[in-house]
Amino acid sequence: MNNFEYLRAESLGQAAAAAADPATKIIAGGTNLLDLMKYNVERPSRVVDITRLPLKDIAETEAGGLRIGALVPNSDLAYDERIKARYPLLSSAILAGASPQLRNSASTGGNLLQRTRCYYFYDTATPCNKREPGTGCPAVHGQNRIHAILGTSQHCIATHPSDMCVALAALAATVHVTGPNGSRDIAFGDFHRLPGDAPEIDTTLRPGEIVTAVELPPEGFAANHTYLKLRDRLSYAFALVSVAAALRQEGGRVVEARLALGGVAHKPWRDEAAEAMLAGKPASPESFAAAADHLLRDAKGHEHNAFKIELARRAIVRALGQAAAGTPQSQTDKRIR
């Protein structure tokens, strides 16, 4: 770890001005940044602490949703009574991730800004386009069991690690940011980006912009939802494939569907065309399988992760079935039923 200057921000303006310098990193819970610094993946010359900024509230919005401050800890968010009652999909996704100790420290905004857990990204002795643009992506022909099957490029096949973000994608949240040029709102589906030819850029944040809040719309799909996470072990492991599924139903038919995947792409993967296929259809395994096939139509496996395509297909069908039946996956008893 290199030497760095430490600054405790007293205002959003001060933090944004400091963050405009590429050599500066913002820190809140630090559950990802500190690891990256220890591994010398990140070597900031200055770290700006924003933990004293007034971004720790969960508030009602005029539209009937909730606005979640960027510094709300993951545990507080998951156990908030309004979240559990109105947005249980989000609570479940948070509880599926990390450990209680990490959830106590990790912040809402920091969760959005997590970086990939690709082996090569963390190993500074190996090349990595995400860490050092132009050096190559050894995962393409190397150990790629945990890597992406959707939205990849020849430059990067890394995945986004967050569970919470998969639920936020399915719920069509909005990200509020502020920076040197003022504040703006970003649709959640536009916040993270695919690797393309610039995999070192994870999000659409502009220089100096800081996440201030995440806003949930009024519809939380509380009656019919599930967050299904498939992983190598049942505790403290990142997803091989995860599915956030939510439905509105009438008379055994789907009125509206939401479907987002984790562990399969550089960003939480939501396919609105696959969702639209379910509208008006019976809430049946056949309908769910057709939507899964459409969502995975462009999936591409590599030597060690081709199994993810069929795993994702089955997970989608299972998750939609759980949502339709109103029997969401338990994050306490993680056995899949």
54-110: pLDDT as tens digits: 999 999 999 999 999 999 999 999 999 999 999 999 999 999 999 999 999 999 999
Domain-embedded: residue 238: yes
Report the number of distinct structural domains present in the chain: 1
Structural domain containing residue 310: 225-325
Domain-embedded: residue 237: yes
* Cα–Cα distance, 123 to 147 (Å, whole number): 16
* Cα–Cα distance, 276 to 288 (Å, whole number): 12
Domain-embedded: residue 215: no
Q: What is the pLDDT along the chain (337 residues), one digit of tens a residue?
A: 789 999 999 999 999 999 999 999 999 999 999 999 999 999 999 999 999 999 999 999 999 999 999 999 999 999 999 999 999 999 999 999 999 999 999 999 999 999 999 999 999 999 999 999 999 999 999 999 999 999 999 999 999 999 999 999 999 999 999 999 999 999 999 999 999 999 999 999 999 999 999 999 999 999 999 999 999 988 889 999 999 999 999 999 999 999 999 999 999 999 999 999 999 999 999 999 999 999 999 999 999 999 999 999 999 999 999 999 999 999 988 778 7
Domain-embedded: residue 273: yes
Q: What is the CATH number of the domain that holds 269?
A: 3.30.390.50
**Structure confidence at residue 2 (pLDDT):** 83
Are 108 and 29 in contact, with CB atoms under 8 Å apart? no
Element (H, E) at 186: strand 182-187
Name the pTM for this structure: 0.97
Alpha helices in the chain (DSSP H): 12-19, 33-38, 74-79, 81-86, 88-95, 100-105, 108-112, 119-122, 164-170, 188-191, 272-278, 285-295, 307-325
Domain-embedded: residue 317: yes
Strand, coil or helix: 319: helix
